[in-house]
Chain A
């Protein structure tokens, strides 16, 4: 069974600073990988996804993520964080078989200091 680990429960960065949120996955085949963002009391918004091809994926709101098979990682990055980026971020892995289930990590709470 697949699993996702987000080692950082909380991260605080200053506005304008760079950001990297870590995500490690466990899955026997080539995974489908996703990053979602959740604002308080809201559903999830897809930031970006990786299915195949270029391992550096660009997403919305200036985010990008890099798939590194050798490290089983899919870290999310942003060069300059804005105060509005404060939210909960979830990494998820999807199966390539039937069922299309997603397995989520425990999330990373991002706080942005002004």
Chain B
């Protein structure tokens, strides 16, 4: 149980385009979903926390207008990187919280490459 999927696993796009990444909890309802960014050989940096039906809470330094997060249902959250630039290239990982004891279940990640 507690499986989280992400789609796509890899995406390559041109500079200036927008990219949407989906995060789904497959066998449970996630009250909260989290979006992380991971640079090569570095730790996970929390970008934002999203709760179903409400606006996401962004961490300091994360541009809200650039990284749009929508949490439309208890099983789906999306991250849209708008007007992507090469510096947005990174590994994006989502996680979902079952609501108990801080335990988060992580998706497999999405590798974004912006040319």
Residue ranges of A at the interface with B (Cβ–Cβ < 8 Å): 32, 34, 36, 41-46, 49, 51, 90, 94-95, 99-107, 109
Contacts of B108 in A (CB 8 A): 42-43
B106 touches A43 (CB 8 A): yes
Interface size bracket, B side = 20 to 34
Task: Choose the segment among B13-21, B41-49, B62-70, B81-89 that binds chain A (4+ C-beta atoms closer than 8 Å).
Answer: B41-49
Q: List 14 A-B contacts (CB under 8 A).
A: A36-B106, A41-B91, A43-B6, A43-B93, A44-B44, A46-B103, A90-B44, A94-B102, A100-B102, A102-B34, A102-B46, A104-B43, A106-B43, A107-B43
The total of Cβ contacts below 8 Å across the A-B interface reads 54
Per-residue CB contact flags for chain B residues 1-34 toward chain A (1 = under 8 Å, else 0) read: 0001010000000000000000000000000101
Report the separation of the CA atoms of residues A104 and B45 in the bound assembly, to the nearest whole angstrom.
8
Per-residue CB contact flags for chain B residues 81-115 toward chain A (1 = under 8 Å, else 0) read: 00000000001010101000111111111010000
B109 touches A43 (CB 8 A): yes
Report the separation of the CA atoms of residues A60 and B52 in the bound assembly, to the nearest whole angstrom.
31
**Nearest chain B CB to A33 CB, angstrom units:** 10
**Nearest chain A CB to B100 CB, angstrom units:** 9
Report the separation of the CA atoms of residues A11 and B101 in the bound assembly, to the nearest whole angstrom.
30
B107 touches A43 (CB 8 A): yes
Given pairs A42-B108, A42-B109, A107-B43, 13 additional interface contacts (CB within 8 A): A32-B101, A34-B102, A43-B4, A43-B93, A45-B106, A94-B101, A99-B49, A100-B32, A100-B97, A100-B104, A101-B49, A102-B46, A104-B43
Report the separation of the CA atoms of residues A95 and B34 in the bound assembly, to the nearest whole angstrom.
15
A101 touches B42 (CB 8 A): no
Report the separation of the CA atoms of residues A49 and B101 in the bound assembly, to the nearest whole angstrom.
10
